[in-house]
Structure 1
Amino acid sequence: MKKFLTAAFLSLLVCIGYAQDKQAIAQVLETQRQAWNRGSIEEFMQSYWKSDSLLFVGKGGPKYGWQTTLDNYKKSYPNQAAMGQLTFNILKIELLDARNAFVLGGWKLKREKDEPGGYFTLWFRKIKGDWKIVCDHTS
């Protein structure tokens, strides 16, 4: 009986930890959305792993590096009008283990003349206690 209670308690702790991690990842995405809608690409980029190994896959194919990703965002979205207002539709946050998570979602920009949108898959990794995007595939 003691072993069962210990196992049940440990399982409960793991579930609580996973729920907190899922909430933390959702908060990272909300912080990103708010930064985007303020027109701050630099602040938006704080959710990404600041590394030359960051991988971003978009319509131009795979690109590596935090600075490359920032530069591409600035080129594609040179001002607030081009950035529009961003919304996310998070379809799934799945914790793969204690340090890695997968996110599937949709994105939409509301701009004066159009409303582009698409889907994204994100690989999050917990780095120094913070969840960071290490790979982003957005279409």
Structure 2
Amino acid sequence: MPRFRAAVIPLLVVALFAVPVAHSQDLQALTTASRQQLDVVKVLLTQEAAWNRGDIDAFVQTYKDAPDTLMVTHQISHGFAGLVEEYKHDYPTKAAMGTLAFSELEARPLDANFAIVVGKYHLERAKKEGGNAEGVFSVVLEKTDKGWKIVLDHTT
């Protein structure tokens, strides 16, 4: 179990109960924000699990299937189709995908329909498959009728 899973959930639970209850509206806002944080972190956990199964198709389902979805890496990809094409080109096999682990995840609601998550990633793979890689990322998620979806991914 990566460190962030062990740390994120207890911290959110502590945050819920450590704040003095001054008004029921304040508690409701905190509960909503905390639920939102859990929901967007689940998107990243879904990504990690799909990646580690070697399932690019499931991995990309965490992105919004829209022409304005953006991915910023070594280039800028516009739209869901371009993003899928880039992933499949860069990671054609399970061996090339390696094993992904996210850490130090920080989820922050922006409003009821948007949130950001920042964190670190580590990709473990054989040298002949490109070797290990690591870096930082930020994603913006939108609450859609299909759940929380990534609309902007900036990964270094």
Given the two structures, how large is their TM-score scaled by the length of structure 2? 0.81
Aligned-partner residue type, residue 127 of structure 1: T
The 2-side partners of 1:64 and 1:90 are apart by: 27
Residue 28 of structure 2 aligns to a residue whose secondary structure is helix
Post-superposition CA distance 1:53-86 (Å, at most 9, x none)? 10111112x2111111001000000001100000
In the other structure, the counterpart of 1:107 is: 121
The 1-side partners of 2:104 and 2:88 are apart by: 24
The 2-side partners of 1:91 and 1:16 are apart by: 19
In the other structure, the counterpart of 1:121 is: 138
Residue 68 of structure 2 aligns to a residue whose secondary structure is coil
Asked whether the equivalents of residues 122 and 132 of structure 2 are also in contact (C-alpha less than 8 Å), the reply is: yes
In the other structure, the counterpart of 1:35 is: 50
Asked whether the equivalents of residues 90 and 103 of structure 1 are also in contact (C-alpha less than 8 Å), the reply is: no
Runs of 4+ in 1 over 3 A off after TM superposition: none
The 2-side partners of 1:65 and 1:104 are apart by: 21
In the other structure, the counterpart of 1:131 is: 148
> Is it true that 1:24 corresponds to 2:43 in the alignment?
no
Q: Percent identity?
A: 36
Residue 123 of structure 2 aligns to a residue whose secondary structure is strand
The 1-side partners of 2:101 and 2:41 are apart by: 13
In the other structure, the counterpart of 1:51 is: 66
The 2-side partners of 1:10 and 1:16 are apart by: 10
Asked whether the equivalents of residues 41 and 117 of structure 2 are also in contact (C-alpha less than 8 Å), the reply is: no
Residue 153 of structure 2 aligns to a residue whose secondary structure is strand
> Is it true that 1:93 corresponds to 2:110 in the alignment?
no
In the other structure, the counterpart of 1:3 is: none
Asked whether the equivalents of residues 96 and 125 of structure 2 are also in contact (C-alpha less than 8 Å), the reply is: yes
Q: How far is 1:129 from its partner?
A: 6.2
